[in-house]
Amino acid sequence: MGKVHGERLPRRAHHSNLGDYGQAVSHFKWGDVERQFTWYETGKVNMAYEAVDRHVEEGRGDKTALLYSDPVREEAYSFADLKEQSNRFGNVLRKYGIGKGDRVFLFMPRQPELYFCLLGILKIGAVAGPLFEAFMETAVKDRLEDSGAVALVTTPELLPRVKREELPELRHIFLVGGDADEESGLHAYDLESASVSAELEPEWLGLEDGLIMHYTSGSTGKPKGVYHVQRAMIQHYYTGKVVLDLQKDDIYWCTADPGWVTGTSYGIFAPWLNGVTSVVRGGRFNPRDWYDTIERCGVTVWYSAPTAFRMLMGAGSESLRGVDLSSLRHVLSVGEPLNPEVIRWGDKVYGQRIHDTWWMTETGGMLICNYPGMDIKPGSMGRPLPGITAAILDDQGKELPPYSMGNLAIRTPWPSMMERIWNNPARYEEYLRIPGWYISGDSAYMDDEGYFWFQGRVDDCINSSGELIGPFEVESKLVEHPAVAEAGVIGIPDALRGEIVKAFISLREGYSPSETLKAEIAAFVRAGLSAHAAPREIEFKDKLPKTRSGKIMRRVLKARELHQPAGDLSTIED
Ligand code: PRX
Nearest-atom index, ligand 1, CA of 256: 13
For residue 254, count CB atoms less than 10 angstroms from its CB and return exposed for 0-12, middle for 13-18, buried for 19 or more. buried
Nearest-atom index, ligand 1, CA of 441: 16
Type of residue found at 205: L
CA 114 to chain centre: 16
Q: Distance from the CA of 28 to the center of ligand 1, in angstroms?
A: 25
For residue 27, count CB atoms less than 10 angstroms from its CB and return exposed for 0-12, middle for 13-18, buried for 19 or more. exposed
Q: Distance from the CA of 286 to the center of ligand 1, in angstroms?
A: 23
> Rounded to whole angstroms, how far apart are CA atoms 130 and 559?
36
> Rounded to whole angstroms, how far apart are CA atoms 120 and 198?
11
Q: Which residues approach ligand 1 with their CB closer than 6 A? A: 216, 261-262, 334-337, 356-361, 381, 440-442, 454, 457, 463, 468
Contact at 8 Å (CB) between 10 and 375?
yes
- 314: helix, strand or coil: helix
> Rounded to whole angstroms, how far apart are CA atoms 76 and 362?
32
pLDDT at 173: 98
Tell me which residue of 390, 408, 409, 412 sits closest to 445, measured CA to CA.
Answer: 408
Nearest-atom index, ligand 1, CA of 456: 1
pLDDT at 426: 96
**Angle at 88 (CA atoms; ends 83, 89), nearest 5 degrees:** 105
Contact at 8 Å (CB) between 415 and 28?
no
Contact at 8 Å (CB) between 228 and 148?
no
pLDDT at 2: 41
Nearest-atom index, ligand 1, CA of 338: 24
Q: Distance from the CA of 262 to the center of ligand 1, in angstroms?
A: 10
Residues facing residue 547 across a β-bridge:
572
Mean pLDDT split into 10-residue runs, the chain, 574 residues: 60 75 94 96 96 98 97 95 98 98 98 98 98 95 97 98 96 95 93 98 98 89 93 98 97 97 98 98 94 97 95 90 95 94 93 96 98 92 97 97 96 98 97 98 95 91 91 91 94 94 95 96 95 95 84 89 79 64
Concatenated DSSP letters of 25-82:
HHH--HHHHHTTSTHHHH--B-HHIIIIIHHIIIIITTSEEEEEE-SS-EEEEEHHHH
Choice from 338, 358, 461 to test ligand 1 binding pocket (greatest atom count within 8 A of CB): 358
Q: Distance from the CA of 206 to the center of ligand 1, in angstroms?
A: 29
- 408: helix, strand or coil: strand
pLDDT at 16: 75
pLDDT at 462: 94
pLDDT at 1: 41
pTM recorded for the entire structure:
0.92
End-to-end, the C-alpha distance of the chain in Å comes to 34
Q: Distance from the CA of 467 to the center of ligand 1, in angstroms?
A: 8
Contact at 8 Å (CB) between 67 and 297?
yes
Cis peptide before 413 (omega within 30 of 0): yes
Q: Distance from the CA of 460 to the center of ligand 1, in angstroms?
A: 14
> Rounded to whole angstroms, how far apart are CA atoms 58 and 207?
22
Nearest-atom index, ligand 1, CA of 461: 1
Q: Distance from the CA of 166 to the center of ligand 1, in angstroms?
A: 33
> Rounded to whole angstroms, how far apart are CA atoms 386 and 22?
9
CA 303 to chain centre: 12
> Rounded to whole angstroms, how far apart are CA atoms 26 and 379?
26
Which residue puts its alpha carbon closest to atom 6 of ligand 1?
Answer: 360
What is the number of residues in the chain? Answer: 574
